[in-house]
Amino acid sequence: MRPIYLDHNATTPLSAEARAAMEPFLSGQFGNPLTSHRFGEGPRGAVEAARREVLALVGDAQGATYDVVFDSGGTEALNHVVKGLAFRSLEGGRAGARRKIVIGGAEHYGVAGPARWLGERFGFDVVEVMPGRDGVCPVEGFVEHLDGSTLLCALMWAQNEVGSLQPVREVGRFCRAQGVPFVVDTVQCPGKVDLSGAPEFADALAFSAHKLYGPKGVGALLLRKGLEPDILVHGASQESGRRGGTHNVAGIAGFGAAAHHARTGLAAEAARLASMRDQLWQEISRRIEGAHWNGAGAPMLPNTLNVSFDGCPSSLLAEETDRRGVAISQGAACRSGAVTPSHTLSAMGLPHSRSTTSVRVSFGHANDAHDAHAAADAFAESVKAVRARV
């Protein structure tokens, strides 16, 4: 049986278009984009073309609103902006007058990690606005905490585990009114969510090529012109001095091609992904007792389905579906026999019995309705097998 990959929120395969865009820079066109001689021309052109494609994702193809800083991916982009803004604000080596960092309660570790570390190391006050049971962080939770002492606010556009879309527009507009820089993790969005309204409310956005059928190890931070977080990677003059290090030209070219396809294919692909996701849930809910769609009812990424099955520890269930050729992601981790509940589901206030039994299915380009049906079969058999075991 052909294995079925349903873990696209973890990473995606490289598309043919991205691979083709990379090819010239893996062989003949090896020049450094910074060099002025002829060998630099092609690589430089590829980096600049990719920059325009990434900007086009947010409806800013001409770069009127944002500058792009190419880097190694989403985690670096988020670290750069969160730590960079904090470092710039230090007074005498400690958090200054603007000492509050307000973030969503289900952010990726790329935001939550630096924010908590800044709190421990430099004395920033970190406020996490917890999501409700639908996985959505309430706007009022941000409004309550945003004031003259707030250094920055961060909220992801789409939650990677549950798929819930966050009220970034509303929170962002409020941040603008308060003069608080608003950082948005858009890593899960390209090809699934229309980002073209971002310039109205987002001051910094993080992207990662490997989530949109581009290569791994390359991404970008988009910064509103005038927003200058401190530099994390000092070096030569690459990226206008904001991030040193010779460009990953092939990776950036692949990222550009992937961004182009994510943008131009969005409408058709989002509808197709949602139909597979809905088909799978219908089959699961019809055939399997004790299944719960986590985050149901919230605005949602079209490709993501997070389900808890009563009495089925996540890791055992993911192991069983994998044995049946269906690759999904487990929400809760199991280490040395102890189960660590999904931090996202715990933040949503779901009980232990739900947060230790959740799995995530995330559809992608290569999937079709047959895969959704095969996944439902695999779930039906696997749930039965796990329930017989525990």
Supply the minimum distance, in Å, between the C-beta of residue 79 and ligand PLP. Answer: 9
Helix axes 369-389, 266-287, angle to 10 degrees: 40
Which residue among 43, 73, 256, 302 contacts ligand PLP (CB under 6 A)?
A: 73
Which residue among 15, 65, 160, 306 contacts ligand PLP (CB under 6 A)?
A: 160
Question: Binding segment for ligand PLP among 67-75, 95-103, 237-245, 356-364 (CB under 6 A)?
Answer: 67-75
Instruction: Rule CB under 6 A: say whether 251 interacts with ligand PLP.
Output: no
Question: Binding segment for ligand PLP among 50-58, 180-188, 273-281, 321-329 (CB under 6 A)?
Answer: 180-188
> Which two tokens mark 151?
């250094």
Question: Binding segment for ligand PLP among 15-23, 52-60, 72-80, 352-360 (CB under 6 A)?
Answer: 72-80
Which residue among 42, 84, 110, 313 contacts ligand PLP (CB under 6 A)?
A: 110
Supply the minimum distance, in Å, between the C-beta of residue 149 and ligand PLP. Answer: 27
> Number of helices (H) and strands (E), helices first, in the chain?
12, 15
Residue 293: burial class (beta carbons within 10 Å; 0-12, 13-18, 19+): middle
Supply the minimum distance, in Å, between the C-beta of residue 382 and ligand PLP. Answer: 24
Alpha-carbon gap, residue 312 to 305, rounded angstroms: 17
Q: Are strands 204-208 and 66-71 parallel, antiparallel or unpaired?
A: unpaired
Helix axes 249-264, 266-287, angle to 10 degrees: 70
DSSP code of residue 277: H
Instruction: Rule CB under 6 A: say whether 360 interacts with ligand PLP.
Output: no
**Residue 42 or 172 having the CB closest to ligand PLP:** 172
182's torsion region: left (phi>0), alpha (psi -120 to 50) or beta? Answer: beta
Closest residue by Cα to residue 375 from 327, 332, 312:
327
Locate tokens 């809905």: which residue?
A: 278
Mask for 192-211, x = binds ligand PLP (CB under 6 A):
----------------x---
Alpha-carbon gap, residue 242 to 244, rounded angstroms: 7
CB 246 within 8 A of CB 32: yes
**Residue 108 or 261 having the CB closest to ligand PLP:** 108
**Residue 161 or 371 having the CB closest to ligand PLP:** 161
Q: Which residues contact 294 (CB under 8 A, 6 or more apart)?
A: 135, 162, 306, 307, 308, 345, 348, 350, 354, 358
Supply the minimum distance, in Å, between the C-beta of residue 56 and ligand PLP. Answer: 20
**Residue 68 or 291 having the CB closest to ligand PLP:** 68
Residue 334 appears among annotated catalytic residues: yes
Using CB under 6 A as the binding rule, the residues of this chain from 255 to 274 that contact ligand PLP are none
Alpha-carbon gap, residue 357 to 352, rounded angstroms: 8
Q: With CB under 6 A, what is the number of residues at the site for ligand PLP?
A: 12
Through-space distance between the first and last CA atoms of the chain, rounded to whole angstroms: 27
Hey, what amino acid is at 95?
A: A
Supply the minimum distance, in Å, between the C-beta of residue 156 and ligand PLP. Answer: 5
Instruction: Rule CB under 6 A: say whether 320 interacts with ligand PLP.
Output: no
Instruction: Rule CB under 6 A: say whether 104 interacts with ligand PLP.
Output: no
Supply the minimum distance, in Å, between the C-beta of residue 218 and ligand PLP. Answer: 8
Instruction: Rule CB under 6 A: say whether 321 interacts with ligand PLP.
Output: no
CB atoms within 10 A of CB 322: 15
Residue numbers at the binding site for ligand PLP (CB under 6 A): 73-75, 108, 110, 156, 160, 185, 187-188, 208, 219
Positions marked catalytic: 334
